[in-house]
């Protein structure tokens, strides 16, 4: 993968970026996503944020080698802290992390989101944490998609400002993903269910403590939510 030849996962994230928005890509690593978007003439200004020195240096190097220093500013910092009001960022992308980490980055930096209209989030796991955060903070799911690449399944969630109400099943599975119920979606949840059933068997073979019983209840609840749909 490089900035001209993105992974399918990042191409899908890129496909949700609106023309001419000012972008902040948080956890940008090599800054492939903002570089690609500038090359495609979708955006002309971006911030690439990184909190780890190695990836930060890779991003600086990549942006320089592509000659995009005027369009993309690489900033070192934790989460949304790299965004300033005067940047006029309209869209934030956060990709390639777990849902709880993405939600914690959004929560810690939510005061930086007053002028942001679109969040494009690609959790590798536990997307539910993002949907829970969105409900609490007044964001609405505008689009959702799911894809498989190199035997891994990824979800992409696009949030816009607005209120929404989701039931337990929608929180876990994604309201739009449930509607489309694609073969990749079915595969993801069949695999998850097998794993939950394996854990349940193990839990039922150990002495029942309150924690174990609570875990069993949680897993049985998730299995029934998925079975209602598949
Ligand atoms: N976004 C790229 C992608 O999707 O291919 C890179 C994903 S990489 C697995 C995750 C990156 O997020 C790492 O480079 C890591 O240093 C960075 N990261 C993790 N927590 C962060 C935070 N709080 N603020 C900024 N960057 C963070």
pLDDT digits (tens, 9 = 90+) for 105-160: 999 999 999 999 999 999 999 999 999 999 999 999 999 999 999 999 999 999 99
Q: How far is CA 216 from CA 199, 200, 220, in A?
A: 9, 6, 6
Confidence at residue 1, expressed as pLDDT on a 0 to 100 scale: 66
The reply to whether ligand 1 has any atom less than 6 angstroms from the CB of 91 is no
State the Cα–Cα distance between residues 113 and 117, nearest whole angstrom.
8
Under the banding of pLDDT at 50, 70 and 90, the label for residue 56 is very high
- Please tell me if the CB atom of residue 123 comes closer than 6 angstroms to any atom of ligand 1: no
| pLDDT tens sequence across 1-21 | 667 789 999 999 999 999 999
Strands 152-161 and 118-123: antiparallel
Return left, alpha or beta for 179; rule: phi > 0 is left, psi -120 to 50 is alpha, else beta. Answer: alpha
pLDDT tens digits along 93-108 = 999 999 999 999 999 9
> Alpha helices of the chain — where are they, by DSSP H?
8-15, 32-39, 53-65, 99-108, 128-137, 168-173, 175-180, 183-203, 210-229
109 touches ligand 1 (CB under 6 Å): no
Q: How far is the CA of 203 from the centre of ligand 1 (A)?
A: 34
Q: What is the Å distance from ligand 1's center to 114 Cα?
A: 22
CA angle 218, 138, 185 (to 5 degrees): 45
CA-nearest residue, atom 9 of ligand 1: 96
170 in contact with ligand 1, CB cutoff 6 A: no
Say which residues have a Cβ less than 8 Å from residue 124's Cβ, sequence separation at least 6. 96, 97, 98, 99, 152, 154
For residue 148, the model assigns a pLDDT of: 98
pLDDT the model gives residue 114:
92
Query: pTM here?
Result: 0.97
Considering only CA atoms, which residue is closest to atom 3 of ligand 1? 96
Is the pLDDT at 167 greater than 80, yes or no? yes
């Amino acid at each position: 993968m490089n900035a001209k030849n993105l992974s399918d996962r990042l191409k899908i994230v890129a496909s949700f970026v609106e023309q001419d928005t000012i972008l902040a890509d948080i956890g940008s690593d090599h800054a492939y996503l903002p570089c690609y978007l500038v090359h495609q003439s979708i955006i002309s200004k971006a911030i690439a944020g990184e909190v780890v020195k190695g990836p930060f240096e890779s991003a600086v190097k990549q942006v320089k080698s592509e000659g995009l220093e005027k369009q993309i500013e690489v900033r070192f910092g934790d989460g949304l802290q790299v965004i300033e009001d005067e940047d006029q960022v309209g869209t934030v992308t956060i990709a390639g992390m777990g849902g709880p980490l993405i939600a914690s980055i959004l929560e810690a930096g939510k005061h930086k989101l007053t002028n942001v209209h679109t969040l494009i989030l690609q959790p590798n796991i536990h997307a539910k944490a993002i949907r829970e955060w969105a409900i609490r903070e007044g964001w609405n799911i505008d689009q959702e998609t799911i894809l498989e690449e190199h035997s891994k399944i990824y979800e992409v969630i696009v949030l816009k400002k607005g209120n929404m109400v989701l039931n337990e099943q929608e929180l876990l599975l994604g309201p739009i993903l449930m509607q489309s119920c694609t073969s990749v979606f079915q595969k993801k949840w069949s695999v998850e269910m097998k794993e939950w059933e394996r854990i349940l068997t193990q839990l039922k073979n150990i002495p029942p403590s309150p924690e174990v019983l609570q875990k069993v209840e949680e897993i049985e609840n998730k299995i029934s939510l998925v079975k209602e749909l598949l």
